[in-house]
Amino acid sequence: MDCLRKLLCYYANLPLKKKITVIVYTSFLFLGIVFSVNLSKLTNYYDGDMYQTNAQLLDNVISNIEAEMSAICIMSDYIIADNVIQKSLTLLMDSPDNYKAASYRRDAYEALYTYMFLNDYISSITLVTDNDVITMGDFLEKKELDFDETARQAADANGGNVWISDKSTNYATFCVRQVRQKKYLNLRKLGTLYVKVNLDKIIADALDNAGYTPDITEFILFHEGDQIYPEKAVYEQNQILRKNLAENYGIETIDGRKKFIIFGNMNYVPWNYYYLRDYNQIFYQATQVKLTAVFLTVFFLISSILFTNIILKNIFKHLDYLIYKMKEFGGEPVSKSVKKYNYEGRMDEIGRLHRTFDEMTKNVKTLRDENYDKQLLLKDATIKMLEQQINPHFLYNTLDTINCMAQVEGNEEISTMVLSLGNLFRASIMQQKELIPLEEELEFLNSYIKIQKIRFKDRLQITFDIPAKYNEILVPKLSIQPLVENALKHSMEFSFEPCEIFLTLNEKSDRYLLKVANTGSLFEEDLLEKIRLNTLKPLGSGVGLMNIDSRLRLLFGEEFGLSFLNQDNQAIVLLQIPKGMEKVKE
C-alpha cells in the first residue's frame, strides 16, 4: 500500500503534459500491440499457407509442362536425323527440277507420318526448304508464320531447338530446328523443321492432373512481356507484370478483385509463369480471424477510453474549480457548490495555476486602487490641457497684430514673413490628418520659401516642375518642407554662393517619385544609417529626415522610405509614394 501511495503521489505531481502523454501513449500502445499481433499472425498464416500449398502443386504443373516439351524436343532430334528425310531433302536440294522431285516429297511426307502420332500434343510437323513446304497435320500457311524470321532464329541456335511463341507466330507455339545434312558431316542446311505444339492442351492437362479448379484459378505465360497463354488476353498487356512483388508470391488487387499471385521462371524455355487464385473465395476463414482481431481491438480501445476518461476527469475537476474561482472574481454568481482544495503543497501545473491566480487577484485589487488614483490625476491634467488651448489663439492674434502694424508702416517683407509664419504654425498645429493632398503641402512649402526668399534674396533660386494633375496625390503632412530646409542648411548656411533647388515629380509603374535636388552640397555615403548609429552628428534637420523616413515606411511599407544620392554635382533626395494614394473627389 505504501508503494502504491507513493506512486500515486509521484503521478499527482507530474506536469499535466506528461500525465496526458502517459495516458494516451499507454492506451494506444495496448491497441497497437493487439492489432499488430493479430494482423501479423493472420497475414503470415494465410499467405504462407497458401503459398506452400499452391507452390508445391504449381511445381508439379511446371514439371509436367516442361517434361512434355522436352519429349517433343527429343522427338525433333529423331526427325532431323531420319534417313528418309535426310535423303529426300538432300535430293530436293540438289535436283529441285528433277522429274522425281514429287517422289522425294512424298517420301519425306510419309516419313513424317510416323512421328505425327507419337505425341498427343503435336498439331503439325512441317519441313520448309528453299523451294518446298511439306506439312503433316494442320496446314501451315505463310501468313501464320514468319518463315524468314523463325529460320533466322533457328540458324542462330546452330542446330539446337528454339521455342517460339510470339508475334512472329501469331502466338502459336512451335519447336523450330534447322535441318542439316549429316552425311559425311557435311552439315549443309537442308531446311527448317517446325513442330507446332498444342500448348493449351499441355497446360490444361497439367492443371487438371494437379487438381486445380479453373473457375477460381488462372495460369498465364509471358514471353518477353507478351502473353502467350491463354490465347485470349486475360488482362491488359503488362498489367500483372507492373505489380512490384517483393517475394515469389503476394496479394494484389487487379480489376477490382483481390488475387493471390505466385510467379516464377521456367527452366526449359525462356518463359515466365503467373498463377493467380481468387482470394475472395478462400478468405472466409481469414475474415473470421480478422473479425476476432477487430473485436479485441475495439474492446481494448473502449477500455482505454474509459480508463482515460476517469483519469482526465480527476485531473480537470481542478481546472473546473479554477474557472469557478475566475467567475466569482469577475462578479458572476456561481450556483454550483465547489469543494475547496488547498493547493499550497501541490507542485504540478494545476497547483501553480491556482497559486498564480490567487496572487493575480491580489495584484489586480492593488492595481485597481492605483488606477483610481491615476484617473484622478489624469482628470486634473485634462483640465489643465484645456486651459492651455487658449495659448495658440493668443499667438495667432499677436501675429495678426504684427502684420497690421507692418502694413501700416508699409513694410511688405515683415508682413509676408508674419503671414507665412502663421500659415506654418497652423499647418503644424491645427491639421489633424496624417495624409494631405500634395497641393496643400506645396502651399505650406511656399509659406516657408517666402520667408527664406526674404532672408537669402537672390542667392536662392527654387524651381518647381510638378504638373497640376498630381495635385490630388496624398502625401504625409509636412514631409517636403524639411527636405527643402535640409537643402538650404547644407548649401547656404556656410557659403555665400548662390543655391538652386529643383522640385520635380514623375511616376513609375507602381509609385510616384518626388525629387528634391540642390546645388552647393553633396550627401555623405549611407547618411541615414550613420545618423541612426550616432556616427554622424546631424546638421539642422537630420532628425527630421529620419522622422520622414520612418513615417513613410510605417505608412506605405519598407520599400517606400527616403533615398539619398549625388548626381551631376547635386545632392538629391527621393521621396516615394505608392500609386492609389489619391484624394477621393467629393
Band the pLDDT of 551: cuts 50, 70, 90: confident
Residue range 141-196, pLDDT digits in tens: 666 677 788 888 888 888 788 888 866 666 678 888 988 888 777 788 888 898 98
Residue 443 CA to residue 420 CA, distance in Å, equals 10
Per-residue pLDDT band at 503 (split at 50, 70, 90): very high
- Residue-level pLDDT at 516: 92
What is the 3-state composition of the chain as percent helix, strand, coil, each rounded to the nearest 5?
55, 20, 25
Cβ neighbors of 47 (< 8 A, separation 6 or more) are 249, 251, 260
Bridge-based pairing state of the strands 499-507 and 511-519: antiparallel
**Which pLDDT score, from 0 to 100, does residue 583 have?**
64
Do 562 and 573 touch, CB atoms closer than 8 A? yes
| pLDDT surpassing 80 at residue 225 | no
Q: So what's the pLDDT on residue 213?
A: 65
d(CA 430, CA 441): 14
Percent of the chain with pLDDT over 70: 72
pLDDT per residue as tens digits for the range 77-103: 899 888 988 888 888 888 777 777 888
**pLDDT-derived band of residue 223, with 50, 70 and 90 as boundaries?**
confident
Bigger pLDDT: 334 vs 264? 264
Residue with more model confidence, 399 or 33: 33
Task: Supply the pTM of this predicted model.
Answer: 0.43
Beta strands in 314-457 (DSSP E): 435-437
pLDDT above 90 (res 515): yes
Give the count of alpha carbons within 13 A of 261, CB side only: 24
Q: Give the pLDDT confidence score for residue 238 in this predicted structure.
A: 54
CB 54 within 8 A of CB 275: yes
Please state which of the ranges 46-50, 225-229, 357-361, 503-507 shows the lowest mean pLDDT. Answer: 46-50
> Of 265-279, 285-299, 348-362, 569-583, which one has max mean pLDDT?
569-583
146 SS3 class: coil
Listed residue (61, 83, 269, 71) closest to 173, CA to CA: 269
**Which of 334-338, 351-355, 436-440 has the highest mean predicted lDDT (pLDDT)?**
436-440
Number of H helices, E strands in the chain: 14, 17
Confidence class of residue 226 from pLDDT cuts 50, 70 and 90? confident
What pLDDT is recorded for position 427?
56
Q: How confident is the model at residue 285 (pLDDT cuts 50, 70, 90)?
A: low
Long-range contacts of 14-18 (CB under 8 A, 24+ apart): 14/348, 15/348, 15/349, 16/315, 16/348, 16/349, 16/350, 17/349
CA 78, CA 179: separation in Å to the nearest integer? 11
User: SS3 for 316-358, per residue?
Assistant: HHHHHHHHHHHHHHCCCCCCCCCCCCCCCCCCCHHHHHHHHHH
Say how far apart CA 83 and CA 181 lie, in whole Å. Answer: 10
The Cβ of residue 529 has, within 10 Å, a number of other Cβ atoms equal to 10
Q: Classify 254 as helix, strand or coil.
A: strand
Query: Residue 389: its pLDDT value, please?
Result: 46
- Predicted local distance difference test score (pLDDT) of residue 90: 86
Highest mean pLDDT among 229-243, 281-295, 447-461, 499-513: 499-513
The full DSSP string for 470-516 is GTTBEEETTSSHHHHHHHHHHHHTT--S-EEEEEEEEE-SSEEEEEE
- Give the per-residue pLDDT at 16: 61
Q: Check residue 148 and give its pLDDT.
A: 80
Looking at this protein, which amino acid is placed at residue 515?
Answer: K
Residue with the bigger pLDDT between 315 and 118: it is 118
Whether the Cβ atoms of residue 235 and residue 225 lie closer than 8 Å to each other = no
Quote the DSSP letter at residue 270. S
pLDDT of the residue at 334:
60
HEC string of 48-83? Answer: HHHHHHHHHHHHHHHHHHHHHHHHHHHHHHHHHHCH
The mean per-residue pLDDT over the stretch 537-541 comes to: 51
Query: Which residues face 501 on adjacent strands?
Result: 462, 518
Cell of 472: 490630388
Separation between Cα atoms, residue 491 and residue 483, nearest integer Å: 12
